[in-house]
Homo-oligomer: A and B are copies of this chain.
Amino acid sequence: MKSVQFAQNKMSRFEQLCRQHGIPLTVQRRIILESIAVREDHPTADQVFEGVSNKLPGLSRTTVYRVLETLVNMGVVHKASHLGSAARYDPNTERHHHLTCVSCHRVMDLEEKSLSSLRFSHSKAGDFEILDYSVHFSGYCGECAKKTKKRVPLEE
């Protein structure tokens, strides 16, 4: 499903970005990115560490975290922890969807009928048996949209 091509493209784009922005291209960064690009799953930082520490003995867990953050900031890797570090509790047990403000991290409900009965090709995606789903939107909430008007949403 994922080709060698994919990993190679990833690396090329990464190296290109590094040169463009004068970001040091360290062994750690190269190996960590490669290890993610090759995998089929969505590893946690710790799983990345496990997978890489063989090839790079002495690698620090801390570095894995820092490199991952760098890669995310560069847009080369996507960090999926949609609702932040802490779990959130919601009294609404009906199917509904969420809006998360990328600035203040507030989470709001979205009741949109058109989203509550999505159709997919099959009720099964491959051999995966779907029980439920929800749509997660990210963006700026009303307040933050004002504040952030015409500002780069980086380094608040």
Point out residues on A near B: beta carbons under 8 Å: 6-7, 10, 33, 36-37, 39-46, 48, 68, 71-72, 75-93, 98-99, 101-102, 106-110, 112, 114-115, 118-121, 125-142, 145
Complex interface: chain B residues within 8 A of A108 (CB): 40-42, 128
* Main secondary structure on A side of the interface with B: mixed
Complex interface: chain B residues within 8 A of A142 (CB): 126-128
Closest B residue to A110 by beta carbon equals: B125
Q: How many copies does the complex hold?
A: 2
**With A75-B93, A77-B90 as contacts: A41 and B136 at CB distance below 8 Å:** no
Q: Which of B81, B83, B114, B127 contacts A119 (CB 8 A)?
A: B114
Complex interface: chain B residues within 8 A of A106 (CB): 41
* Complex Cα–Cα for A107 and B119 (A): 21
A-B contact pairs, 28 of them (CB 8 A): A36-B90, A36-B91, A39-B91, A42-B98, A44-B84, A44-B88, A45-B87, A45-B89, A46-B86, A48-B89, A76-B93, A78-B92, A79-B87, A80-B83, A80-B107, A81-B83, A81-B86, A82-B134, A126-B142, A127-B141, A127-B145, A128-B139, A128-B142, A129-B145, A130-B138, A131-B138, A133-B138, A134-B136
